[in-house]
Amino acid sequence: MSMPVHTPSQRPFTGMLLDRATIERKDPARIKQLLEDPGARTVLAGSDGVLISGGNAPSLLHTRLSPPSPHEAILLGLEDGAALFAVDLDSLPPSVRAELTNHGRVVSLRDAGAQLSHSEAGLAAYLAALLNWHRRHRFCANCGASTVIAEAGYSRRCPRCGTVHFPRTDPVVIMTVEHQGRLLLGRRAGWPPGRLSVLAGFVSPGESVEETVVREVQEESGIRARDPVFVTSQPWPFPASLMLGFHAQSDGGEPESQDGELEEVRWFSLEAVRDAIHGRNPELQLPPSVSIARFLIEQWVALREA
């Protein structure tokens, strides 16, 4: 008797509960008040990951750093009425970093997604995404001058040409493709043998997301997908993507790598995928639980066993 697969109810890296303080962040005087509030706290991340606490129930490490000047503040939002700020670990002096890491540990965002609660993992994704953007956009793409933080971290402004830059998110489609009860999975170059996932790709300029689904499946596998239907989405700050999950049908055919991105692509039966979910298929290793890919695969199996 096969073990049922339950439809996943929570997408990883979602569920952040902060009030993003859209109005407050436009008022420099209010930001100064929030910085000086004894209840204000800071969470930290660097290029190596996020700073979390130890113990049996880890969470993002909340600390009270000396407040930066208002024009340098990166406000994440309000938590129970108090401000929560973000600080880049990479920007701190080594001695301060060492003291902070003595009270916690830096883990990769993927590991944080597996260890933290649902809402805390969502906050970690938000923290990492915003700091990733600031780290990579210190200069104006229009004229090359140094930019300054504006709107308490929700934008950067160029003092030379006046251009305002906003955090960028790159849309990516990711899709289950089905034909006669079989699922299309592929193994990317560099992945170990047996590790496969659903197909994915970036949206091109002037292209709808539905068109991207059809194009990417054709380009990567030679299979023609049709009737794509949106399923769900997930922030994926590695460094700045938004994954848009779809399900599509296909009239079949023999898949074959077309553009060199995949070393292997083929159809898998419902039984083979279900066994892989439960660790009973040594020939098929699925994506980790922190990914929307795993969410889509588990949902595909669960809906066909309902």
Give the DSSP letter string of 235-304. Answer: EETTTTEEEEEEEEEE-------SSSSEEEEEEEEHHHHHHHHTT--TT-BPPPTTSHHHHHHHHHHHHH
Residue 63, SS3 per DSSP: strand
pLDDT of residue 55: 79
Contact 157, 163 (CB under 8 A): yes
DSSP state at residue 194 = T
Q: How confident is the model at residue 70 (pLDDT cuts 50, 70, 90)?
A: confident
What integer pLDDT is reported at residue 134 of this predicted model?
96
Instruction: Specify the CATH number for 170-305; select among 3.30.70.1290, 3.90.180.10, 3.20.20.80, 3.90.79.10.
Output: 3.90.79.10
| pLDDT(6) > 70 | no
Model pLDDT for residues 143-193, shown as the tens digit of each residue? 999 999 999 999 999 999 999 999 999 999 999 999 999 999 999 999 999
Q: What is the pLDDT of residue 11?
A: 85
* Range(s) within the chain of domains with CATH label 3.90.79.10: 170-305
How far is residue 2's CA from residue 120's CA, in Å, rounded to a whole number?
Answer: 34
Mean pLDDT, residues 87-104: 93
Q: Please answer whether residues 89 and 32 qualify as being in contact, where contact means their C-beta atoms are separated by less than 8 angstroms.
A: no
Task: Supply 236's token pair.
Answer: 């994926």
199-202 and 170-179 beta bridge pairing: antiparallel
The pTM of the full predicted model, rounded to 2 decimals, is 0.92
AA identity, residue 26: K
Residue 78: the pLDDT is 97
At 47 the pLDDT is 94
Alpha helices in 72-108 (DSSP H): 94-102
Say whether pLDDT at 80 is over 60.
yes
Sequence-distant (≥ 6) Cβ neighbours of residue 202 within 8 angstroms:
170, 171, 172, 212
The stretch 92-116 carries a mean pLDDT of 94
Q: What pLDDT was estimated at residue 7?
A: 57
pLDDT of 116 over the 60 cut? yes
Judge contact between 169 and 115, C-beta under 8 A.
no
Q: Is the pLDDT of residue 76 over 50?
A: yes
Amino acid type, 111: D
Summarize pLDDT for 222-277 with one digit per residue, the tens: 999 999 999 999 999 998 999 999 999 999 999 999 888 899 999 999 999 999 99
123 phi and psi, to 5 degrees? -65, -40
CA atoms within 13 Å, Cβ hemisphere of 283: 7
High-pLDDT (> 70) share of the chain, %: 96
Determine the pLDDT at residue 1: 41
pLDDT of 9 higher than 70: no
Q: What is the assigned CATH class of domain 24-136?
A: alpha beta
Backbone angles phi, psi at 125, to 5 degrees: -65, -40
Q: What is the mean pLDDT of residues 92-120?
A: 94
Helix intervals (H) in 137-243: 209-221
